[in-house]
Structure 1
Amino acid sequence: MTTGRGACALLLSLALTACAGIIPVSPERASRPAPAEPQVPPPETSPDVPVSGNAASQGIRPGPAVASLDIERDQAVRALAAFRISCPSVLNREERTGLTATSDWIEPCRAAESWSGDAVRFFAEHFRAVEVGSGRAFATGYYEPEISAARERRNGYDWPVYAVPADMPEACTGDCDPQLETLTRAAIESGALAGQGLEIAWAEDLVDLYFLQVQGSGILRLPDGDPMRIGYAGTNGYPYTSIGRLMRERGLLENGQTTAEGIADWLRENPEQGRAIMQQNPRYIFFTELDGPGPLGSLGRPVTPRATVAADPDFVPLGAPVFLDLEHDVADGLWVAQDTGSAIRGANRFDTFWGAGDDAYRIASGMASRGQAYILIPAASAARLRAD
């Protein structure tokens, strides 16, 4: 996720409504749970989410006092650590939401650097909760997949993991002559980049490699058992196409198969048709080997399992804490916006990061939950918005 990847592609988004205005002078309201709505299957991308404008244009209202939110201590400790990691980039990134100014982050970042007390109290003292638009949220999940691969091509490892080509041709989008299309997924998988020395590894399974590209980063487990961590380095410039949606439209998936695991099983059971379907998504992800402790988010900092959330930087300041109250209780609590994703667009649209391993895969691939979101902004930002 950078995992700047397409934050998990097994997603569906919820149309979110909003109203215009800035924070009115009004008492803070008590936290309220989101009303339950029917569970939706975990799908693949985000249609029809309003993405125009920014947070300020959607209307901003004060949320409840941060101290009144149901934040567990362990969540706050993880979030504070993630916030500290983000601060150097927060003080230098572009502000696009209309919620804060870069200078507003100096005080909470300085305080976080030396804070040794209760982590919940840190957020309560230095931040104020606001609601963007209706505050009605939709959240999915992503994870760091682990697949089998080798650094050099060998028997059984036939699918190249590519670095970014030095001279990337311009993508052919819109109404294109198919003969002019260059580095689509189909062209790359047919050998368009072969012989250029771009292979950083070779994957054992094409379906595993496809889903690693969807996530945008992951761990390659080498034949000797050593891990090789790789991260997002770029794309071929083509838009993402949801193969899950294509498969549902064609009647290929039965009820219960619309999870990542169900889709992957079908693709492996039908290898020729499955490869053709994967190639219907022309977007291709290139990777680089990482030496650090984890995948990098859009701030250029390591993302934090169970603390990082991907968001749209037009609606959530990157580095800002976010409180979620969702139907899936496992994702309730405090997160930090450290990442973005091409499918994560619009107000109150989030993608929660769960790390690596079987539990992370299980939670992330089944996460598709509605609820309520509050963005935590520095106290100075909230005071200025009220004054405006």
Structure 2
Amino acid sequence: MSPDAADAAPTYEILKFEDLDGWQDDDHSAALSVFLNTCADIKDPEWATLCALATSQPSARTFFELFFRPVLINGDEPALFTGYFEPELRGSRTRGGPYQYPLHSKPPEVRNGTTWSSRREIEELGLLEGRGLELVWIDDPVEKFFLQVQGSGRVKLAEGGAMRVGYGGKNGHEYKSIGRELIRRGIYEPHQVSAQVIRNWVKRNPVDGAELLRHNPSYVFFREVSEVPADKGPLGAMNRSITPMRSIAVDPKYNLLGGPIWIEKAGAKPLKRLMIAQDTGSAIKGAQRADIYYGTGDKAGRAAGRIRDKGRLVSLMPIQTAYTLVPGG
């Protein structure tokens, strides 16, 4: 999307529910359940009324059709769907055996908005060792690295149970892509690089691999997210657990966080489903842009990594809001 397009006023078109391909075949009750997780967090009197009415209707489909109108925002804008997931790592609360790579909490001297030591300095000088900053010990340095890129995840503990960790701060250095570095060195062509390819290369080349990871000076610290049970989804932008295949990340400039969004995703595995906008992302920009949450673990990660598809998003808006945006629509 060009800068001029980004600055242009949004366009709106009110559709009918019969215009939504596959609407009648969806599980509207599942969507309503996810909608109710965050509906009360929308700070608007009109939405408060809708939340109160949500469970008093004869069916979930009736609720959406009675109180909402489908609104296509920037319908001429090319749509793009991608996927994301929550990594699951193996770890232990104590160091031992394969568990040698710690996730650290933020040192007290690290201040937001300032630059601290680089990844190389942290690792080579042992700046975090012996300070009691270890939250959990991981069995794989590459998985630790990718978790720092992702910012949050779940650790399956050797002692039993699991720990969820979330973003706790960073050292202030800008992220540098190690995938691009592999391309620059001539090791891979751009179309060959993926997270799995990087993982495999680092594991095959442990010395050079450790050096490659240090090409990225950014270092992320974590915190234990104890307020969310490990069997629930991670927190989204609304500070509530998100739900696999029902929660999406959107651009809140165009689509209301907490609002229902109908998606028609094309590609090898088409998806036509009522989703709830419960998250955001730095790369999610534009009215026709969404990131679909696929769940936790490797299987979800593989599924999410294959998604880069066209289609369209249609926002379900309260009737009064829809007709205010499109008078006479």
TM-score higher than 0.5: yes
Question: In which range does the TM-score fall when normalised by the shorter chain?
Answer: 0.7 to 0.9
Work out whether residues 18 and 59 of structure 1, in 8 Å CA contact, stay in contact via their aligned partners in 2. Answer: no
Structure 1: how far apart are the matches of 2:153 and 2:260? 25
Whether 1:131 aligns to 2:72 is: yes
DSSP 3-state at the match of 1:82: helix
Question: 372-381 or 274-283: which moved more?
Answer: 274-283
2:83 corresponds to which residue?
Answer: 141
Q: 1:233 to 1:109 in 2, by over 3 A?
A: farther
Given candidates 296, 304, 308, the residue that maps to 2:235 is 296
Between the aligned residues of both structures, percent identity stands at: 36
Q: Which sits farther off after the overlay, 332-341 or 247-256? A: 247-256
Could you tell me whether the CA contact under 8 Å between 1:89 and 1:300 is conserved in 2?
A: no
The residue identity in structure 1 corresponding to 2:211 is A
CA distance in 2, matches of 1:287, 1:252: 32
Aligned AA (2:16): A
Q: Which is greater in Rg?
A: 2
The 1:271–1:16 alpha-carbon spacing in structure 2 relative to 1, beyond 3 Å, is farther
Distance 2:316 2:274 in 1: 10
Specify which structure has the bigger relative contact order, considering alpha-carbon pairs within 8 angstroms and separated by 6 or more residues. Answer: 1
The alignment yields a C-alpha RMSD, in angstroms, of 2.7
CA deviation after TM superposition for structure 1 residue 240, in Å:
3.4
108, 112, 118: which one aligns with 1:184: 118
Q: Contact (CA 8 Å) 2:14, 2:322: kept in 1 or not?
A: no
Structure 2 counterpart of 1:235: 170
* Equivalent position to 1:314, from 253, 262, 278: 253
Q: For 1:358 and 1:376, locate their aligned partners in 2 and report how far apart those are by CA, in whole Å.
A: 32
Q: Is the 8 A contact 1:73 1:119 kept in 2?
A: no
1:77-226 matches, within 5 Å, as: 77-91=29-43, 102-112=44-54, 114-115=55-56, 117-133=58-74, 134-169=76-111, 171=113, 181-190=115-124, 191-226=126-161
Match of 1:356 among 290, 293, 296: 296
Find the aligned partners of 2:152 and 2:118 in 1 and give their Cα distance.
Answer: 20
Match of 1:45 in 2: none
The 1:124/1:145 distance shift into structure 2, 3 A limit, reads: same
Alignment partners' CA distance in 1, 2:77 and 2:233: 31
Cα offset, 1:121, TM superposition: 2.8
Name the residue aligned to 1:367.
Answer: 307
Partner of 1:220: helix, strand, or coil? strand
Aligned length: 320
Where 2:66 maps in the other structure, the secondary structure is helix
Look up the match of 1:178: none
CA contact (8 A) 1:244 1:258 kept: yes
Contiguous gaps of at least 5 residues in structure 2: none
**1:272 CA drift (Å):** 2.9
User: Are residues 312 and 158 of structure 1, via their aligned partners in 2, closer, same or farther at CA, if it must alter by over 3 Å?
Assistant: same
Write the distance in 1 (CA, Å) between the matches of 2:143 and 2:246: 25
Cα distance in 2 for partners of 1:268, 1:253 equals 16
Given that 2:81 and 2:309 are in contact with CA atoms closer than 8 Å, whether structure 1 keeps it comes out as: yes
Cα deviation for residue 239 of structure 1 reads 3.6
**1:170, distance to aligned residue in structure 2 (A):** 5.0
Q: Secondary structure at the match of 2:145?
A: helix
TM-score, reference length from structure 2: 0.85
Residue 331 of structure 1 and its aligned partner are, at CA, apart by 3.8
Question: Aligned partners of 2:276 and 2:304: how far apart in 1?
Answer: 17
TM-score normalized by the length of structure 1: 0.73
Report the CA distance shift for 1:182/1:78 in structure 2 as closer, same or farther (over 3 A). Answer: same
CA drift of 1:346 comes to: 3.5
Can you list the C-alpha shifts for 1:7-57, whole angstroms capped at 9, x where unaligned? xxxxxxxx37986xxxxxxxxxxxxxxxxxxxxxxxxxxxxxx5xx5xxx4
**Runs (5+) with no aligned partner, structure 1:** 1-14, 20-49, 92-101, 173-180
What's 1:24 paired with? none
